[in-house]
Amino acid sequence: MFAIIKTGGKQYRVTKGTKLLVEKLEGDAGSEVKFSEVLMTGDETSSEVGAPFVKGVEVVAKLTDQIKDKKVIIFKKKRRQNYRRKRGHRQLKSVIEIVDILKGGKSIAPATVKKAAAKDETKEKAPAKAEAKTATAKPAAKKVAKAKPEAKEKAESNAEPKKVAKKAAPKTTTKK
């Protein structure tokens, strides 16, 4: 389950567990923030678009940290006028982690938890496949080893033509 929220004049697509860097929000680190301006919710099978917001849906997030963003340099100059102004600015940002997506006070995000569990199962199956691939990859490595001497021969054949110093043309003298 995902939701598209609006905060700080921007829109973000979020799911449960997503971490975001957004414009500064009021509150201390560790406090809970609710976003009621949800533009859209949905999953793989269906979606609900608001006009402009979806009614009864809110996203709950935990305010992880309050930080300053990278410095932006503002440089103004007028040529030939001896006018130069240099300023720096660091925007205040909030780091949030999405805790839940609520519809009518009930959580609609557990579907993503099930999918995450399914992904974990596939990750467990993947190492067995990887082992099988490594077993088949070893003979292929031998083929590559055979190709290396051929490459050396080609390099030697390319290196055979050596530069020969050119002799100077004989000087001719003309009598006048």
What pLDDT digit, counting tens, does each position of 139-159 carry?
Answer: 554 554 555 556 555 555 555
Q: Tell me, what's the pLDDT at 139?
A: 52
Q: Tell me, what's the pLDDT at 113?
A: 46
Q: Tell me, what's the pLDDT at 170?
A: 79
CB-based contact 42:75 (threshold 8 Å): no
Q: Tell me, what's the pLDDT at 169?
A: 78
Q: Tell me, what's the pLDDT at 104?
A: 85
CB-based contact 82:75 (threshold 8 Å): no
Burial per residue of 7-29, b for 16 or more beta-carbon CB atoms within 10 angstroms, e otherwise: beeeebebbbebebebeebeeee
Q: Tell me, what's the pLDDT at 43?
A: 87
Q: Tell me, what's the pLDDT at 173?
A: 79
Q: Tell me, what's the pLDDT at 108?
A: 84
Q: Tell me, what's the pLDDT at 14?
A: 95
Distance separating alpha carbons of residues 14 and 29, to the nearest angstrom: 20
Identify the three-state secondary structure at position 167: coil
Q: In degrees rounded to 5, what are phi and psi of residue 49? A: -105, 135
Domain boundaries of the chain, sorted by first residue: 2-76+85-119
Burial class (CB in 10 A: 0-12, 13-18, 19+), 51: exposed
Instruction: Enumerate residue ranges in the chain where pLDDT < 70.
Output: 110-163, 176
Q: Tell me, what's the pLDDT at 28?
A: 92
Q: Which two tokens stand for residue 29?
A: 């680190």
Q: In degrees rounded to 5, what are phi and psi of residue 68? A: -110, 140
Q: Tell me, what's the pLDDT at 92?
A: 96
